[in-house]
Amino acid sequence: MSYALELKDLRKNFGKTEIIRGANLAVTAGERVAIIGPNGAGKSTLFNLISGRFGPTSGEILLNGQRIDHKAPYEINRMGLSRSFQITNIFPKLSVFENLRCAVLWSLGYKYTFLKFLSGLKDANELAEKYMEMIRLDKKRDLLAMNLTYAEQRALEIGITIAGGSDVILLDEPTAGMSKSETTRFISLIKEVTVGKTLLTVEHDMGVVFGLADKIAVVVYGEVIAFDTPEAVRSNARVQEAYLGSHVADEQAGGH
């Protein structure tokens, strides 16, 4: 069978340093996967490889059975994969509405046209309004994105990511920098807007991970050492040793 997203022996070197060393992962369509791992394990690099920001050194990435490694980010996006960023990455000088409208344009087939007025694109406008309501920013419609609060910018980031209608969504630490109560609300928002989609998310907050994910992939030193249900991962000896162990040790040492 073909998976929504599949990594086959993926490797990435920066100079002589191996960051990703033979990562394997196969995600079934509709699964919610949380990727966890200690700092510097290569989680973000993995996302950058999948989304085409970097090209892998070797190995394969398949999206719905088709090779996407060594394709440009926009080509991968057109094939149905979309990502958000750990550091907010929106269009600061465009309004909330314009941000979302830009994000829906390609998927509706408007491409590079300059022979149609935006105001006449009924489907694009309605879709942008719909996503704006989904991420609860409809009251901020005409505000420039740079003037939003941090949490609102994070929501817009998610909005831009899902607005193109991709089936596979990668969220890189969507709740980074948020307070506890914001995080809780935000997680339910993410669940709501990604219904029926394949979701991969990098997350540090263990409460979030176990609440959101159907499956957990543990990345340590550039390898996926475990990929299973939360319960199974929790009881996996290798994981406990390599990741959760050090995590507990961290917390005991007062770090975190």
Would you count residue 129 as binding another protein (CB under 8 A)? yes
The only residue of 17, 39, 112, 256 in contact with another protein, by rule CB under 8 A:
112
Between 17 and 117, CB nearer to another protein: 117
Encoding tokens for residue 249? 């040790």
**Does residue 165 contact residue 79 with C-beta atoms inside 8 Å?**
no
Site string for another protein, 9-48 (x = CB under 8 A): ----------------------------------------
**Of 22-30, 113-121, 179-187, 218-226, which segment contacts another protein by CB under 8 A?**
113-121
The only residue of 1, 15, 39, 122 in contact with another protein, by rule CB under 8 A:
122
Would you count residue 54 as binding another protein (CB under 8 A)? no
Q: What is each CA distance from 116 to 98, 110, 111, 125, in whole angstroms? A: 16, 9, 11, 13
Handedness of CA 186, 188, 189, 195 (dihedral sign): positive
Would you count residue 103 as binding another protein (CB under 8 A)? yes
Would you count residue 248 as binding another protein (CB under 8 A)? no
The only residue of 71, 83, 154, 215 in contact with another protein, by rule CB under 8 A:
83
The only residue of 2, 74, 177, 180 in contact with another protein, by rule CB under 8 A:
74
User: How many helices (H) and strands (E) would you count in the chain?
Assistant: 10, 10
Would you count residue 118 as binding another protein (CB under 8 A)? yes
Would you count residue 3 as binding another protein (CB under 8 A)? no
CA dihedral 198, 199, 200, 204 (to 10 degrees): -160
Would you count residue 64 as binding another protein (CB under 8 A)? no
Would you count residue 92 as binding another protein (CB under 8 A)? yes
Between 16 and 139, CB nearer to another protein: 139
Q: What is each CA distance from 202 to 15, 34, 207, 208, in whole angstroms? A: 25, 6, 13, 10
Among 28, 34, 25, smallest CA distance to 3 is for 28
**Does residue 12 contact residue 20 with C-beta atoms inside 8 Å?**
yes
Helix segments in the chain, DSSP class H: 43-50, 73-78, 96-105, 122-134, 150-163, 180-193, 206-212, 230-235, 237-239, 245-252
Between 66 and 179, CB nearer to another protein: 66
**Does residue 174 contact residue 154 with C-beta atoms inside 8 Å?**
yes
Would you count residue 212 as binding another protein (CB under 8 A)? no
Between 37 and 164, CB nearer to another protein: 164
At position 170, the amino acid (one-letter code) is L
Residues in touch with another protein (CB under 8 A):
51, 72-74, 77-78, 82-83, 85, 89-94, 98, 101-103, 105-107, 110-119, 121-122, 124-126, 129, 160, 163-164
